[in-house]
Structure 1
Amino acid sequence: MTADDVETDAGDADGSADEEWRDSLADAGELTPDIVAQLLAVHGDRGRRAVDAVGEGRVKQYNDFTVVVGHEDEYVVEDGGCTCRDSQYNLDADDPTQRCWHVLAAEIAERIGAVDHHDMYYSEVRNFL
């Protein structure tokens, strides 16, 4: 076994843990203490911020985009990516376990039915902000 094999195995373990909380959440349909613990074990502070955003109703679905309202701006989440600086500069886009808290919040909200739906286009709403 080489050092590369060990690194790959560790990455697989993280991927499995990431899938585990997602599967548990999809099955439960709600955030339970165990699921939150699983999420935090994989995503740490990003996971905590995502749970807070979902609890505060800050995940919005428009006709054209899903938007997560942050403390300083609103961020478009699309196809597992986000317009925030954390996604652009700090995270490896090729590693599915590395997600900003906006993407995590959108994934959580979708799985538990906590997305705030708006029958309008965000591109039109954004012009008023």
Structure 2
Amino acid sequence: GNDFVIPLRGAELEVTRVALRIQEELVKPLRELDITDKEFACLRAIVFFAPDCPGLESPQVIQHLRLQAHIQLEESTCEQRGRFGELLLILPPLQSVAWQMVETLHLAQLLGEARMDSLLQEMLLGE
């Protein structure tokens, strides 16, 4: 990891909710699975390479890259029956938590409680 600590008790209730979800739905299962760096990299690529993202000029290229990540993940887990599926089951909560984080950031920005770098704002909020 990056040795970054997310406190489970925070001043902001919504931030605390997100932190608890991250801990319960992502960190704990990933630790229980004892995920390798290679597996984690493949999962990140699967999430990152989204061919259905609006505005892509070559979604087929992105689809191919995502397929390569799937293949790498499958090959790295072929010795452990069921592991590939267990790892893929991490993706829905990851996506859900990510959406909740983006919504929380957007709300905090609208309420003037947070300032966001213009690049981050464009990437996360499409503004």
TM-score with structure 2 setting the length: 0.31
TM-score with structure 1 setting the length: 0.31
Q: Which has the higher contact order (CA 8 A, sep 6+)?
A: 1
Q: Which has more strand, going by share of residues?
A: 1
Q: Computing the radius of gyration over CA atoms, which structure comes out larger, 1 or 2?
A: 2
Q: Which has more helix, going by share of residues?
A: 2
